[in-house]
Amino acid sequence: MKPEEPNNNVSFEKAKRRLKWKKLFAKKWFFPAVYLSAAAVILSIAWWYQSNQLQQVSKTKQEGMNQETALPVDQVLEEESEQTLGLPFPVNLEVAKKMNYYDEAGSQETKETSLVNYANTYFPHSGIDFARKDGKTFEVVAAMDGKVMRAQENPILGYEIEIQHENGLTTVYQSLENVKVTKGSTVKKGDVLANAGQNNFEKEAGKHLHFEVRNKDGETVNPSQFFAEDLNG
């Protein structure tokens, strides 16, 4: 059998292509041109990626801002609603505030008029006193839904009722008579608890309601900040 002759045409074409690449590589501008082209492609990809990321960040921030400007408003309104107390007496009665809560941050004049003289000693007033202008008794009602934790007579403060509320506050009603609830009772806002009466601690005040608000730690706080109504007098 006659051996096959080498394909000289194929070898020649390969040699020709190699020679062409060698000449191209020998050009001074070849490699810089390749580098610049590669750099341009890389920069284009980087710019596209960065632009896309910035758009995503901007979109996320905008969504976050929309949520932050919408949700807290509802949350604040809900919290304010949970903290707001109703008046501890029917609104149609001619009842006025007779003594303020003793506030350390108040003016000197306000603090002086918020002291109770008992047994030759002055005590800071821990709540707000309410009374009718004609000195008569009046109904005392629950300022908020809650559970009666105490309903008993105190020899100095008179009959008192404590109601615990779901928001952590406790409302206290003192100087009472004709009490209508007992410990463990569940009451709704506006339910009648008792009638205003007298006590020995503020004997000169006559028939009145002493109303307190205590926080989660059991400390008395100024009740005025929890009323929606502006208390005058």
Contacts of 156 (CB under 8 A, 6+ apart): 199, 200, 201
Q: What is the rounded distance in angstroms from the CA atom of residue 171 to the CA atom of residue 69?
A: 33
Q: What is the rounded distance in angstroms from the CA atom of residue 191 to the CA atom of residue 180?
A: 10
Whether 213 is in a domain gets the answer: yes
pLDDT for the residue numbered 117: 94
Residues in the chain: 233
Q: Which of 79, 103, 136 is the last residue of a domain?
A: 79
Pair (49, 116) in one structural domain: no
Q: What CATH number does the domain containing 167 carry?
A: 2.70.70.10
pLDDT for the residue numbered 91: 86
Pair (127, 165) in one structural domain: yes
Please tell me the total count of domains within the chain: 2
- Per the DSSP assignment, residues forming a β-bridge with 150 are 162
Whether 3 is in a domain gets the answer: no
Tokens encoding 56: 């995503």
Pair (220, 177) in one structural domain: yes
Whether 41 is in a domain gets the answer: yes
Contact 180, 188 (CB under 8 A): no
Q: What is the rounded distance in angstroms from the CA atom of residue 64 to the CA atom of residue 144?
A: 36
Whether 49 is in a domain gets the answer: yes
Pair (173, 197) in one structural domain: yes
Whether 233 is in a domain gets the answer: no
Chain CA centroid to CA 13, Å: 82
Pair (220, 145) in one structural domain: yes
Pair (222, 123) in one structural domain: yes
Whether 198 is in a domain gets the answer: yes
Pair (221, 114) in one structural domain: yes
Q: What is the rounded distance in angstroms from the CA atom of residue 9 to the CA atom of residue 224?
A: 106
Digit-by-digit pLDDT tens for the chain (233 residues) are 444 555 555 565 665 566 555 555 555 555 555 555 655 555 555 555 455 544 543 443 344 434 433 434 344 334 445 678 999 999 888 899 999 999 998 889 989 999 999 999 999 999 999 999 999 999 999 999 999 999 999 999 999 999 999 999 999 999 999 999 999 999 999 999 999 999 999 999 999 999 999 999 999 999 999 998 767 54
Q: Which of 31, 50, 79 is the last residue of a domain?
A: 79
Pair (189, 129) in one structural domain: yes
Helix 8-26 and helix 30-83, axial crossing angle in degrees, nearest 10:
70
Q: Which of 55, 79, 103 is the last residue of a domain?
A: 79
Pair (121, 212) in one structural domain: yes
Cα angle for residues 199, 161, 216 (degrees, 5° grid): 120
pLDDT for the residue numbered 82: 61
pLDDT for the residue numbered 39: 53
pLDDT for the residue numbered 45: 58
Whether 87 is in a domain gets the answer: no
What sign has the CA pseudo-torsion 161, 146, 142, 190?
negative
Pair (122, 25) in one structural domain: no
Q: Which amino acid is at 109?
A: E
- Does the predicted model carry a pTM greater than 0.75? no
Pair (34, 132) in one structural domain: no
Q: Tabulate helix, strand, coil % of the chain (nearest 5).
A: 35, 25, 35
Contact 189, 146 (CB under 8 A): no
Q: Could you tell me the residue range of the domain that residue 101 belongs to? A: 95-226
Q: Which amino acid is at 120?
A: N
Round the CA-based radius of gyration of the chain to a whole number and report it.
42
Pair (75, 99) in one structural domain: no
Whether 88 is in a domain gets the answer: no
